[in-house]
């Protein structure tokens, strides 16, 4: 296992974070290539609730972002995980899992009620994410939109991410 340091992003990290995100999504078929721009817009709008980097040998090789979402146009302490980015040569080494686990831990520390994401069910189930029919992200196949509740209560309604997501 690679020696990986997970920490909060610093202001001076933003250019490298954008590079990592761009590299991570360069060959992904289900992307419009806007992931780095989304993170920059979230940052500019002070909407990055949690923004973590992963370092190997003091070099940033991964990033994850968490931002507030609304359910039925109301913020009820739920957050969205997006995007999670690992530089390709460091993928499949557990770095993304470390970032996600640390982010979830930090969400719980700020008394978040839960987290949603759009992603591959087989990957995100390991963190406890699952599909809930009562949570809807319009125009997205239901099986790819997943949630992780930090209590027994799962809200119902239409989810909206920050406007940076378009």
Q: Provide mean pLDDT across the span 102-111.
A: 98
Mean pLDDT, residues 98-119: 97
Provide the pLDDT for residue 81. 98
The mean pLDDT value for 78-103 works out to 97
pLDDT for res 33: 87
Q: For tokens 């690992």, what's the residue? A: 86
pLDDT digits (tens, 9 = 90+) for 108-118: 999 999 999 99
Query: What pLDDT sits at residue 30?
Result: 78
In this structure, the strands spanning 50-56 and 5-8 are antiparallel
Predicted confidence at residue 1, as pLDDT, reads: 62
Instruction: Give the separation between CA 23 and CA 82, rounded to whole angstroms.
Output: 16
- List, for residues 2-21, the tens digit of each pLDDT value: 799 999 999 999 999 999 99
Of 22-31, 50-59, 63-72, the range with the lowest mean pLDDT is 22-31
pLDDT at 129: 98
Model pTM greater than 0.85?
Answer: yes
Pick the CATH number of 5-165 from 3.40.630.30, 3.20.19.10, 3.30.390.30, 3.40.50.1220: 3.40.630.30
Contacts of 71-75 with CB under 8 Å at 24 or more apart are 71/135, 71/155, 71/156, 71/157, 71/158, 71/159, 71/160, 72/157, 72/158, 73/160
pLDDT at 29 over 90: no
Burial of 69 per CB tally in 10 Å (0-12, 13-18, 19+)? buried
Compute φ and ψ for 21, nearest 5 degrees. Answer: -60, -45
- Is the pLDDT score of 77 beyond 90? yes
Q: pLDDT-based confidence at 128, cuts 50/70/90?
A: very high
Q: Which two tokens stand for residue 95?
A: 């770095």
pLDDT band per the 50, 70, 90 thresholds, residue 104: very high
Q: At what angle do helices 35-44 and 14-25 cross, to 10 degrees?
A: 150
Domain boundaries along the sequence of the chain? 5-165
| Mean pLDDT, rounded, for 103-126 | 97
């Amino acid at each position: 296992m690679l020696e990986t340091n997970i920490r909060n992003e610093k202001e001076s990290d933003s250019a490298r974070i954008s590079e990592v995100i761009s590299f991570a999504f360069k060959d992904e078929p289900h992307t419009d290539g806007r992931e780095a721009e989304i993170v920059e817009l979230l940052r500019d709008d002070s909407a990055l609730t949690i923004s973590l980097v992963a370092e190997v040998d003091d070099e940033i090789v991964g990033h994850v972002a968490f931002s507030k979402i609304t359910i039925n146009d109301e913020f009820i302490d739920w957050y969205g995980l997006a995007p999670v980015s690992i530089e390709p040569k460091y993928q499949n080494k557990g770095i993304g899992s470390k970032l996600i686990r640390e982010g979830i831990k930090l969400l719980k520390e700020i008394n978040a009620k839960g987290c949603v994401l759009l992603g591959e069910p087989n990957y995100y189930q390991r963190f406890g994410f699952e599909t809930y029919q009562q949570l809807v992200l319009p125009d997205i196949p239901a099986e790819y939109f997943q949630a992780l509740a930090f209590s027994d209560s799962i809200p119902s309604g239409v989810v909206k991410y920050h406007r940076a997501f378009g």
